[in-house]
Structure 1
């Protein structure tokens, strides 16, 4: 806005009549909204609070750094309005005296784009929208002054970057799917001491497990053979391998072959990785086992949301 003699006036005026020198002067602020906005601390990610915060920063910059009190008051008023829920629109260019016709036309085009984008941008990307509106007002104010070319360029660049961020943030999220292999079930077959054959009770439990797995195609079965710590470690490694091979043979016998089972992997862990921690030479049924781990292919949703960074100037 136009800077007249107000540009050089102090923030407060001393008024009041003195009766016999006893009455104190009363101080009234000439720019009350600037003083009011100093006491505010807009926070949050809503459009209104973002706008209030951005206009507050502009107001205090104009007041404290530039001593441009009329514009400081202008931005302070907009900050307070936004903070109270009475959201102001981007500055009307008719209220700015911009001498250069080309610059005015450029601002008019930018404002039309901003207003159109804000219609949905306020809801979809409130932070980016608030920053973009404030940066436009900054650009218009600096263009009106017309002599601080670095300030004009800074505000214009900040606006263009804010608009780019706003439009990027308004793009829909990209949802893709990827196939992953993850565990869906497991079964444990227990063995008698120093034996590798499958006990009848364990065979029945394995039958039930495989029946369930046939309903979930395709599956991948991983077989881990284990032994307890009784006996030499090298013997236990071979014993766990025989146990795993016997379970594998049972799976193949029951039709768990390539096509229904994409991959069949065998691992003999011997007395390593016990289910129950024991000392050496301890007989423990929980450790004499073969673990059948079933994994299945599932589709995992991967959402890639458009993000953007808003650069503060």
Structure 2
């Protein structure tokens, strides 16, 4: 009987630890290792928080484990498409066709080539964002519930990959000098006729705010709101301004000085995807965040 009581007592701390959420486990995380591994740990922690807010405990724990491994200086690779079940979702009616599966597989190959091609050392923040946004895209494809989440993660991945492609290898300089980081862009998406930020949009805004705070010098941030071509041009101009204002307010809440942010609405005049008038196009319902860093 004494032995049984001892086991019960010893099991109490383990039970308490098991009750901790993935985010709580990461609360005291102090990333070490290379700049890439530190950025990876931070971005995976953001994905953990997002999935936890969605009550997706399986994926929250999955991303938390990757955050912990990266924070300890381990070599953490992007998820393999074969790790996820990509098939037709009969509830949402969203189908992962053979073409889309091939597309994400090719994206995985592009990512691996970029990471193995010195991207981790050359652009650690951007490379980490490319990897975590790919994992986010893959996870959202498997769920197949929310088109805006799938589009946001895919857009984040493509933008990061574009930056990795556009950034040239550093040329030898006669004297060491510190150059200002290149301009960085993020895009958030909105529901139809809405200026309310989705959870996916807030995640991207928080990533942008984190990157802005890490920039040296004085950041100049612009937020440009857009709409699709459903509705009148006059109404869409006001809607695009409200979307830009919503993003600005979220950036301010995340610690970016309000006086460093400019906002403008472009209405339906600059669509990302060209459509006839009156067409609802999700990719055109967006706000773009651009950061220019000025050397002091």
TM-score (norm 2): 0.50
TM-score (norm 1): 0.47
Highest CA radius of gyration, 1 or 2?
1
Give the structure, 1 or 2, with the largest relative contact order (CA under 8 Å, sep 6 or more).
Answer: 1
Higher strand fraction: Structure 1 or Structure 2?
1
Higher helix fraction: Structure 1 or Structure 2?
2
